[in-house]
Structure 1
Amino acid sequence: MGQINPTLKDITVKVITKFGTIISIAAVLMATCGAMDAQAQGKDVWPSKPIRFVVPFAAGGSIDVLARLMGRHLETRLGQSIVVENRTGAGGTVGADFVARAPADGYTFLFTAQGPLVLNPFLMKRLPYNAEAAFAPVTVVAEAPNVLVTNQAFPVANFSELRGFAKANPDKMTFGTQGVGTTGHVTGELINQQTGINLTHVAYQGFPPALTDVLAGRVGMMIADTINLLPRIRSGQLRPIAVASAKRSSVLPEVPTFAEAGYPEIVSGPWFAVLAPAGTKLEFRRKLSEEMRHVLAQRDVQEKLTELGVESRGSSPEQFDSYLKSEFKRWGSVIQKAGITLGN
């Protein structure tokens, strides 16, 4: 092959050099854009670090046990640690306020019963947060329906007999609970408002003293949730009169509901749910809700919940939002009609 014309050679080198430069620049730009795109996508990958469940009640209680149970299973599904942190005080208000003020980044959640959300706003004169606006719903995890019980000596066996006994013996219609403003207390007031009978509330400092007085006959009845009552009902210490659930409870299937006695509005009991600070992305909340529902469907989790005396639920953020609004309205009405306050 002959020599390449010098002019043509120069042009060829320039073209190749220029083309190579273009390729190099293009490669750099593509790599940079790819890195930026991956970085941008990384910001939306959730979770990318440990998640915190704030429980506004004491360690070892039913809510704490439930939060830790769910946390252990979620760690496997999400690939991140779940840290359960107890921040107690003021009927759950302290922990709820902490979450309300936390960054809405999808890494801090409130794992609570309904008190700080739908009871305390009406029981307390002042709350440090706006219960209707401070939180973004994730899911309802489980519930434990309340049960109206008596000791074995109390002369009624069902709610129909109790109504007749109430008319003849109004002075003996006392019911004990774990304290003022508890779900047991507001359930008793709901029963009064729905049925027209007059149950007189006797507040105790916790479940044990209330149970002691009911068993001793110093108080006629008691209203508490299945978590506390189930062992005493199964042992025969207490007689269940009616359960405050929409349908018969899976943990007490032999006990009739208030609805069966003609009072479908008497549905009450602690429910346990997860919420995020307001402003937390819906996609994060939906993912956590979906993963929690997967956990709740596991047989070993179902068995543990039954052992605890609670029933699994599970809901989407949208379903929970609707339920939360209805509960806020319902319990606000009951509490205000009954004139219950905690005096703060």
Structure 2
Amino acid sequence: MITRRQFVQASMGAAALGLLGQTQAQPVEQPKFLYGFPPGSSGDIVARRIAERIAGTPYARNQAIVENKAGAGGRIALEALRQATPDGATLCLSPFSATSVYPHIYTRLGYDPVNDFLPVSIAALMFHGLAVGPLVPASVKSVKDYLAWAKAHPKDANYGSPAAGSTPHFIGALLGLNNGVDLKHVPYRGSVPGVTDVVGGQIASMVTPSGDFIAHHRAGKLRVLATSGSRRSPFLPDVPTFAEQGFPELTVEEWFGFYAPARTPAAVVAAANAAINQALKDQSVIDALGIVGLIAQGSTPQEMAASQKQEFERWGPLVKKIGFTAES
């Protein structure tokens, strides 16, 4: 398992590499974007909308091909990226959990999140949400109400997440641990089946990307009690954040970001970064991401590397507090 010192040292080295290299790069004929989750998922939409907008840029002559290498929480795609030729022809879109949280969970990842990859650009932000369904009385309107209800009804006090070891899993775990409430975790394979069970009253609640709740919340089929951003979600403006309700430690803004293989020339990384950030300013891309509750947001490679390092340092002690490992 990578240590904090190794992570920090390697992050500094990776950022330094971003300042070196050629000043110009030849456009890639047709890039490939790897994505570690199924087609139709929120991150897949990010990859596809950006892939459509990078043609004719200094980075790419044609639009990119998106290849879904789903499985193992996104790790399979990153393992494939590690083995790709470092020429800019292959990038991978990944949530930060795969590079900042997984190192604290898996003793053997199959990739080194710092030394095997170069950050290219953040692409989108997502806020997670806590929602309850018909199993929870309509009188429960806030996080504090939910905790009080869960404490009084331990048999039904559970929450789903899209996967064991995911950021939503840990948000729910911390909510229970920090408030002395035994919230039982119910892991699912993705958000959809869990949300379906909340709406159907099979489980009490779920923590997952808030975009997956929007349609059901508006239809009155479930109630989103809180979102995890530092500000309210623009897609759920009526829902207060965890911080607004007295739980600032649950402020989490997870991002999807593009990575290149290590040793990709700095000029190629710069060209890819410029193309991605240009695509993220396209109103059609902004609107497409908004439909699934994502906020289009780019970055420099250095900003992405700094955020990855910050999240790695934040989640280490939290994962230890929760006591979760891949063998749990």
| TM-score normalized by the length of structure 2 | 0.84
Q: Can you list the C-alpha shifts for 1:226-263, whole angstroms capped at 9, x where unaligned?
A: 23211111211110110011111111111100110122
Matched, 1:80 2:61: yes
Q: 1:300 to 1:132 in 2, by over 3 A?
A: same
Partner amino acid, structure 1, of 2:326: L
Sort the Cα spacing of 1:276 and 1:327 in 2 relative to 1 into closer, same or farther, 3 A.
Answer: same
**Residues in 1 aligned to 2:56 and 2:189: alpha-carbon distance in whole angstroms:** 39
Match for residue 98 of structure 2 among 112, 116, 119: 116
Is the CA contact (8 Å cut-off) linking 1:91 and 1:115 kept in structure 2? no
Between stretches 121-130 and 204-213, larger displacement belongs to 204-213
- Aligned residue number for residue 184 of structure 1: 168
SS in 1 for 2:123: strand
Unaligned runs of 5+ in 1: 1-41
Residue pair 1:157, 1:241 contacting (<8 A) in 2 also: yes
Instruction: Let me know the Cα RMSD of the aligned residues.
Output: 2.4
Q: Is the 8 A contact 1:53 1:110 kept in 2?
A: yes
1:94-145 Cα offsets, whole Å, 9 max, x none, are: 2101111222222221112234212332332311111232111111101221
Residue equivalent to 1:276: 260
CA gap 1:154/1:317 in 2 versus in 1, 3 angstroms: same
Q: d(CA) in 2 for partners of 1:207 and 1:185?
A: 11
- Report the CA distance between 1:197 and its aligned residue: 3.5
CA distance in 2 between partners of 1:199 and 1:189 (Å): 7
Give the conservation status (yes or no) of the 8 Å contact 1:92–1:115. no
* Structure 2 partner of 1:202: 186
* TM-superposed deviation, 1:194: 4.3
Contact 2:135 2:203 in 1 (8 A): no
| 1:295 paired to 2:279 | yes
Q: 1:158 to 1:291 in 2, by over 3 A?
A: same
1:173-202 Cα deviation digits (max 9, x unpaired): 211122312232122123234444432212
Following superposition, the deviation at residue 86 of structure 1 comes to: 2.3
Aligned counterparts of 1:222 and 1:194: Cα–Cα separation in 2 = 18
- The structure with the larger Rg is 1
Q: TM-score, normalised by structure 1?
A: 0.80
* Residue 87 of structure 1, CA deviation: 2.3
> 1:108·1:276 contact (CA, 8 Å) conserved in 2?
yes
The question of 1:135 aligning with 2:98 is answered: no
Q: Contact (CA 8 Å) 2:23, 2:267: kept in 1 or not?
A: no
Match of 2:15 in 1: none
* Counterpart position of 1:224: 208
After superposing the two structures, state which structure 1 stretch, 246-255 or 153-162, moved more: 153-162
Distance in 1 (alpha carbons) for counterparts of 2:69 and 2:201: 37
Contact preservation (8 Å) 1:194, 1:266: no
- Structure 1: distance between partners of 2:164 and 2:36: 18
Distance 1:230 1:129 in 2: 35
Structure 2: distance between partners of 1:208 and 1:298? 28
Q: State percent identity of aligned pairs.
A: 30
Equivalent in 78, 103, 125 of residue 107 of structure 2: 125
Q: Residue 173 of structure 2 contacts residue 322 of structure 2 at CA under 8 Å; is this kept in 1?
A: yes
Instruction: Name the CA distance, whole Å, in 2 between partners of 1:140 and 1:193.
Output: 31
Counterpart amino acid of 1:65?
I
Task: Name structure 2 gaps, 5 residues minimum.
Answer: 1-21
- CA–CA separation in structure 2 for the residues paired with 1:338 and 1:153: 26
Structure scoring higher RCO (CA < 8 A, sep ≥ 6) equals: 2
1:310-342 CA distance string (max 9 Å, x none)? 111211111111100111122232222212233
Give the Cα separation in 2 of the matches to 1:87 and 1:204: 19
